Amino acid sequence: MPTSHPFGRALCAMVTPFTADGALDPGGAQKLAALLVDEGCDGLVLSGTTGESPTTTDAEKSALIRAVVEAVGGRVPVVAGVGTADTRHSVALARAAQEAGATGVLAVTPYYSRPPQPAVEAHFRRIADGCGLPVMLYDIPGRTGTRIEPDTMLRLAEHPRITAVKDCAYDLSGSARVIAETSLTYYSGCEELNLPLLAVGGTGFVSTVANAAPGPLRAILDAYDAGDNARALRLHQRALPLVTAMMAAGLPGTVTAKALLGALGRPAGPVREPLQAADAGTTARLLAARERLVAED
């Protein structure tokens, strides 16, 4: 793992496997984590959006970290989601993640209350000051209702433990500016922008689609690193139908990822309400899209 990329480059936003009755499945999480690493992921992100963090308890989050760290912690970084709408709660989760063995924490912008930028900045600084782990900021205004504005990013980049960004802001211009003016490591959180973000200085991705197709997404990074931009573009375009099926067809990525993993016989289990499982027809279409992608050379 290059020292300049302490979280890795090809990160999976891993689902949280549950048993058939909806309980946390630590053994399933260990099996899934090992499979994802074997197939190309060099980092894992737990308890993010895809990991159903709003519906897992603090105890479940810590148990999940411990299980995954036990399985793959010696091989890849394990980043733990600690984002909530409550700064004190997020700080407590960050400390618990550190105690459980996480490599770093993922902190999303506080949601629902829509704090102004000085409050957003203070929130992230409190988290970074409250634990000893490096922090990846999670900028996803489409879900939280609040952007981490580029000027706020520039100030936060001065904090020694705020080191990376998961970028779901859909603003390549703003991202390019922050990349150019800071040492923040930028990860695409929107698979259709994985390659474009690399072109403006991004490092890699934190991907929901990687739950089902880690190898094809990693291959795009490898081709780009090798200087074969034509191949990187070709591989990126090949992945887009699956990306669209999983992320832009009207269902949350958690639902489509778990549907695919279940169809593939991999640990996933049900989603927790209010999410609902994909129907059989949707699952079949997802599986067909994945099979077309992995069948291509």
Q: Which is catalytic among the residues 61, 112, 138, 186?
A: 138
Q: Determine the straight-line distance between the first and last CA of the chain, rounded to whole angstroms.
A: 26
Phi, psi of 46 (to 5 degrees): -105, 155
Is-catalytic flag, 166?
yes
Helix spans in the chain (H): 26-38, 58-72, 87-100, 117-130, 141-144, 150-156, 172-181, 194-199, 214-225, 229-247, 253-263, 280-295
Torsion of the alpha carbons at 239, 242, 244 and 246, rounded to the nearest 10: -140
Nearest-angstrom CA–CA distance, 153 and 185? 12
Q: Phi first, then psi: what are they for 13, rounded to 5°?
A: -80, 90
Active site residue 112: no
Q: Are 136 and 166 in contact (CB under 8 A)?
A: yes
The residue from 166, 186, 187, 258 that is catalytic is 166
Q: Which two tokens stand for residue 23?
A: 């309980």
Rounded Cα distance between 94 and 92, Å, is: 5
CB atoms under 10 Å from CB of 292, counted, come to 12
Beta strand pairing call for 204-207 and 104-108: unpaired
Q: Where does residue 269 fall: left (phi above 0), alpha (psi -120 to 50 degrees), or beta otherwise?
A: left
Could you give the angle at the alpha carbon of 58 between the alpha carbons of 55 and 64, nearest 5°? 85
Give catalytic residue positions: 138, 166
